[in-house]
A and B are shown apart, each in its own frame.
Chain A
Amino acid sequence: MSGVAIQSCGACGRSWQFRRAACPACGSSSVAEAEAGGGGTVWSVTTVLRAPLPELDVPGGYGIALVTLDEGPRIMCRAEAGISIGDRVRVALGEDGLPRASRA
Chain B
Amino acid sequence: MAHLTGVAVTPFGKHPGRGPVDLMEEAALSALADAGLPREAVDGLVSGYATTYPHLMMGTVMAERLAIRPRHAHQAQVGGATGAVGIILARHLIAAGACRHVLVVGGENRLTGQSRDDAVKTLAGVGHPVHEVPLGASIPAYYALVAARHLHETGASEADLAELAVLMRRHAAAHPGAQLTKPITVADVMASKPIATPLKFLDCCPISDGAAAVIVSAEPLQGAAIRIAGWGEAHTHQHVSEMPDDLGLGAKLAAAQAFDTAGRSAADMRLLGLYDSFTATLAVFLEALGFAAPGRAGPAAHDGRFSREGRYPLNLHGGLMSYGHPGVAGFLAHVVEVVRQMRGEAGERQVADAPLAYCHADGGVFSSHAGFVLERTA
Whether a CB of chain B sits under 8 angstroms from the CB of A26 is no
Interface secondary structure of A, over-half rule: strand
Q: Which of A16, A44, A86 contacts B145, CB < 8 Å?
A: A44
Residues of A within 8 A of B195 (CB): 48-50
Q: Using Cβ atoms and an 8 Å threshold, which residues of chain A touch B136?
A: 48, 51-53, 56, 62, 64, 78
Cβ of A45: which chain B residues have Cβ within 8 Å of it? 145, 148
A77–B145 touching, CB < 8 Å: no
Instruction: Please classify the interface of chain B as helix (H, G, I), strand (E, B), loop, or mixed, using the class held by over half of its residues.
Output: helix
Chain A residue at minimum C-beta to C-beta distance from B151: A85
Contact flag A49-B196 (CB < 8 Å), given A62-B136, A76-B131, A77-B135: yes
Q: A102 interface residue, CB < 8 Å from B?
A: no
Are B240 and A76 interface neighbours, CB within 8 A? yes
**B121-143 toward A: CB 8 Å interface, digit per residue (1/0)?**
10110001001101111101100
Please, which residues of chain A bring their CB within 8 A of the CB of B140?
A: 48, 50
A103 at the interface (CB under 8 A from B): no
Contact A46 B196 (CB under 8 A): yes
B241 on the interface (CB 8 Å rule)? Answer: yes
- Say whether, besides A44-B149, A85-B149, A85-B152, A76 and B196 are in contact (CB < 8 Å): no
Residues 172 to 226 of chain B near chain A (Cβ within 8 Å): 193-199
From B149, which residue of chain A is reached at the shortest CB distance? A44
State in angstroms the CA–CA spacing of A85 and B152 once bound together: 8
| CB <8 Å contact, B131 and A46 | no
Contact B135 A64 (CB under 8 A): yes
Cβ of B228 < 8 Å from any Cβ of A?
no
Taking a contact as CB atoms under 8 Å apart, the answer to whether B148 and A85 are in contact is yes
Most A-side CB within 10 Å, residue of B120, B148, B242: B148
Contact with B along A28-51 (1 / 0, CB 8 A): 000000000000000111111111
Do B197 and A46 have beta carbons less than 8 Å apart? yes
| B376, chain A: closest CB distance, angstroms | 41
| A18-B242, A46-B145, A50-B195 known; A76+B137 contact, CB < 8 A | yes
Per-residue CB contact flags for chain A residues 78-94 toward chain B (1 = under 8 Å, else 0) read: 10000001100000000
Q: In the assembly, what is the distance between CA of A85 and CA of B330, in Å?
A: 32
- Known A17-B241, A46-B196, A49-B193: A78·B135 in contact at CB below 8 Å: yes
Residue in contact with A64 in the complex, picked from B121, B137, B239, CB distance below 8 Å: B137
Count of chain A residues with a beta carbon within 8 Å of a chain B beta carbon: 29
CA distance A52 to B136 in the complex (A): 7
Q: With A52-B121, A66-B240 in contact, do A18 and B128 touch (Cβ < 8 Å)?
A: yes
| Cβ of B146 under 8 Å from chain A | yes
* A54 interface hit (Cβ, 8 Å): yes
Contact between chains at B194 and A75 (CB < 8 Å): no
A18/B196 in contact, CB under 8 A: no
Q: Give the nearest-CB partner of A96 in chain B.
A: B134
Q: In whole angstroms, what is the CA distance A54 to B118 when docked?
A: 10
Give every chain B residue within 8 A of A98 (Cβ-Cβ). 134-135
Indicate the member of B135, B146, B152 with the most A CB atoms within 10 Å: B135
- Docked Cα-Cα span, A93 to B194, in Å, equals 28
Q: A74 near B145 (CB under 8 angstroms)?
A: no
In whole angstroms, what is the CA distance A54 to B121 when docked? 10
State A49–B194 Cα separation when bound (angstroms).
6
Could you tell me the distance in whole angstroms from the C-beta of A14 to the nearest C-beta in chain B?
Answer: 13
With an 8 A cutoff between CB atoms, is B144 at the interface? yes
Give Cα distance in the complex from A86 to B120, angstroms: 30
| Chain A nearest Cβ from B77, distance in angstroms | 21
B197 surroundings in chain A (CB, below 8 A): 46-47, 49
Q: Which residues of A contact B128 (CB under 8 A)?
A: 18, 76
The A-contacting residues of B in range 235-254, CB under 8 angstroms, are 239-242
- Pairwise interchain contact B141-A48, C-beta atoms closer than 8 A: yes
Binding site for A on B (CB under 8 A): 117, 120-121, 123-124, 128, 131-132, 134-138, 140-141, 144-149, 152, 193-199, 239-242
